[in-house]
């Protein structure tokens, strides 16, 4: 854990020293690759790393900056670092970026890894805030008026909610329980029903990176950023960190037994509303990136809903969806970036006949759409299938209506991308380049192939998750 974080910190200083060099992008790729190798090494030698707490400094009694790795963190560690490596290759080809961009990108990923390794809420909070600050220069990268205004909104939402909601929730939790450490069965027991519900609201709204409504607007606003930043926000780091933190809070702070006794109705209510409302809003978006952004908001709430149902299979669905959503959504965003780069097309209504010009890109976008809808035979179907089994297992059958309605809505806003690309012809402007940029699209092809391979090789992953997380 510490060698990994130390290496990333060293990488930040290295990029700072060579920030004006043309090869800073290549160094960023190398750092991301080594970070991915770190995560694979930890996965292979997991018995030597899991549940080995490392205390750095004690701030107050029982409030320590400390690091630890559990099985849930191990899953997110491999996914985030693997997709970071793919995104860094894409980024280096996508457009000319200065050293400052790569420095803040690396700080963002260092913060994400630190969140994964955090052993308690206090450590998580520190790096949660650092992640917000580090991604602000990326969101405002274009430095135009729209980007600056969007960046301010980004900070207001994320810093504001963490100060108003998350920090008080952490303080109350510490005062009531005397600890902030992530614990297998949670740190609450026999506590007041009203107190638990208050804390649920504070944590839900405080971890705004999970994009739960009504504190979600920072995410579509941040779509002014370049496509690699959108990928960072949606699939690699930011929103995944948010939902990962909420899942950790539900399982290791509240504890599933406490939530069963007091009820997880508030989690279910806000997650269900977010799933439906975000899908309806997505239908109205002509901008490809905005449509994908509102899709992300709804898809993240699937993860929260699955844990809140408190059934073993629904929790399994949530963890699987962390992986599958990351793969599907990064495919969609990087494909949309390729479309914008090669053709200048940024709106759904302008995608007519696009498959004849960018066949690989449109195929990959279709694959990502099928994953997000949850159609077989894609990995998105698997997580949705287990979510449905969990709903039936918990006897909360009314939630099936949420899944059915959201699936129909998902199909309604994703199928136009496919239909227009393949089934509506349009005369091609000879001034527009029509060839694929294979260097740009190759990382996306690799991600797409991984998604397909995973569908046919899920048994070992599911068995690993059942034995290490679900049944633990």
Phi first, then psi: give them for residue 370, nearest 5 degrees: -65, -35
Work out the average pLDDT over 317-345.
91
Higher pLDDT, 401 or 343: 401
Same domain assignment for residues 444 and 342: yes
Which of 57-66, 89-98, 389-398 is predicted with the least confidence, judged by mean pLDDT? 89-98
pLDDT at 165 (0 to 100)? 96
| pLDDT, averaged across the chain | 89
Number of domains in the chain: 2
Same domain assignment for residues 243 and 319: no
Among 250, 351, 257, 332, which Cα is nearest to 289's?
332
Same domain assignment for residues 271 and 255: no
Is a pLDDT exceeding 70 seen at residue 429? Answer: no
Is a pLDDT exceeding 80 seen at residue 232? Answer: no
Query: CA separation (Å) from 456 to 167, 319, 377?
Result: 43, 18, 9
pLDDT at 427 (0 to 100)? 53
Same domain assignment for residues 138 and 30: yes
Using a 10 angstrom Cβ sphere, with 0-12 exposed, 13-18 middle and 19 or more buried, the burial of residue 108 is buried
> Residue 184: which pLDDT band, with cuts at 50, 70 and 90?
confident
Tokens encoding 12:
């930040």
Is a pLDDT exceeding 70 seen at residue 430? Answer: no
Same domain assignment for residues 251 and 268: no
Same domain assignment for residues 223 and 306: no
Tokens encoding 324:
């599958």
Single residue among 261, 276, 294 that ends a domain in this structure: 261
Same domain assignment for residues 127 and 248: yes
Provide the percentage of residues in the chain whose pLDDT is more than 70: 96
Same domain assignment for residues 327 and 208: no
pLDDT at 143 (0 to 100)? 77
Q: pLDDT digits over 195-209, tens only?
A: 999 999 999 999 999
Which of 102-111, 129-138, 254-263, 343-352 is predicted with the least confidence, judged by mean pLDDT? 254-263
Work out the average pLDDT over 74-95.
88
pLDDT at 99 (0 to 100)? 64
> Residue 191: which pLDDT band, with cuts at 50, 70 and 90?
confident
Same domain assignment for residues 232 and 297: no
Single residue among 226, 261, 296 that ends a domain in this structure: 261
pLDDT at 264 (0 to 100)? 87
What domain range includes position 208?
Answer: 1-261
Same domain assignment for residues 83 and 43: yes
Among 319, 308, 213, which Cα is nearest to 254's?
308
pLDDT at 431 (0 to 100)? 46
| Number of residues in the chain | 472
Same domain assignment for residues 268 and 322: yes
pLDDT at 385 (0 to 100)? 94
pLDDT at 2 (0 to 100)? 86
Is a pLDDT exceeding 70 seen at residue 428? Answer: no
Find residue 55's DSSP bridge partners: 66
pLDDT at 254 (0 to 100)? 92
Single residue among 242, 261, 280 that ends a domain in this structure: 261
Measure CA of the first residue to CA of the last residue in the chain; give whole Å: 22
Which of 69-73, 79-83, 161-165, 454-458 is predicted with the least confidence, judged by mean pLDDT? 454-458
Same domain assignment for residues 452 and 328: yes
CA–CA distance, 56 with 196 (Å, rounded to integer): 30
CA–CA distance, 387 with 402 (Å, rounded to integer): 11
Work out the average pLDDT over 251-259.
90
Provide the percentage of residues in the chain whose pLDDT is more than 90: 60
Work out the average pLDDT over 395-402.
93
Dihedral-angle region of residue 51 (phi above 0 means left; psi in -120 to 50 means alpha; beta otherwise): left
């Amino acid at each position: 854990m510490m060698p990994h974080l130390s290496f990333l910190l060293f990488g930040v200083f290295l990029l700072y020293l060579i920030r004006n060099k043309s090869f800073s992008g290549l160094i960023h790729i190398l750092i991301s690759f080594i970070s991915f190798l770190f995560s694979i090494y930890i996965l292979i030698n997991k018995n030597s790393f899991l549940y080995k707490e490392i205390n750095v400094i004690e701030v107050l009694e029982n409030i320590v900056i400390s690091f630890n790795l559990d099985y849930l963190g191990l899953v997110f560690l491999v996914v985030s670092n693997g997709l970071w490596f793919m995104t860094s290759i894409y980024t280096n080809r996508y457009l000319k970026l200065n050293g400052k961009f790569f420095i803040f990108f690396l700080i963002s990923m260092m913060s994400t890894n630190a969140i994964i390794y955090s052993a308690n809420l206090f450590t998580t909070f520190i790096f949660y805030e650092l992640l917000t600050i580090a991604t602000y220069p990326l969101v405002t990268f274009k430095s135009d008026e729209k980007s600056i205004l969007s960046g301010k909104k980004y900070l207001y939402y994320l810093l504001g909610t963490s100060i108003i909601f998350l920090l008080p929730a952490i303080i109350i939790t510490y005062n009531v329980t005397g600890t902030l450490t992530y614990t297998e069965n949670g740190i609450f027991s026999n506590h007041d029903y009203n107190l638990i519900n208050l804390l649920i609201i504070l944590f839900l709204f405080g971890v705004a990176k999970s994009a739960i409504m009504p504190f979600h607007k920072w995410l579509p606003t941040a779509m002014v950023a370049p496509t690699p930043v959108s990928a960072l926000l949606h699939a690699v780091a930011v929103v995944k960190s948010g939902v990962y933190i909420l899942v950790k809070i539900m399982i290791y702070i509240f504890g599933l037994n406490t939530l069963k006794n007091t009820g997880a109705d508030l989690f279910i209510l806000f997650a269900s509303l977010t799933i439906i409302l975000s899908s309806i809003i997505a239908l109205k978006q002509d901008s490809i990136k905005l449509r994908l952004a509102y899709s992300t908001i709804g898809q993240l709430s699937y993860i929260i809903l699955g844990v809140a149902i408190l059934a073993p299979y629904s929790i399994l669905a949530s963890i699987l969806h962390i992986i599958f959503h990351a793969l599907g959504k990064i495919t969609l965003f990087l494909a949309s970036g390729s479309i914008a780069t090669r053709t200048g097309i940024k709106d759904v209504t302008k995608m007519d006949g696009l498959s004849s010009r960018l066949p690989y890109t449109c195929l990959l976008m279709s694959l990502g759409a099928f994953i997000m809808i949850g159609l077989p035979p894609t990995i998105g179907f698997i997580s949705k299938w287990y979510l449905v089994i969990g709903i039936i297992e918990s006897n909360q059958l009314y939630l099936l209506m949420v899944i059915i309605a959201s699936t129909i809505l998902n199909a309604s806003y994703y199928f136009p991308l496919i239909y227009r690309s393949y089934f509506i012809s349009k005369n091609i402007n000879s001034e527009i380049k029509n060839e694929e940029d294979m260097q740009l699209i190759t990382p996306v092809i690799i991600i797409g192939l991984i998604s397909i391979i995973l569908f046919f090789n899920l048994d070992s992953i599911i068995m690993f998750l059942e034995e290490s997380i679900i049944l633990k």
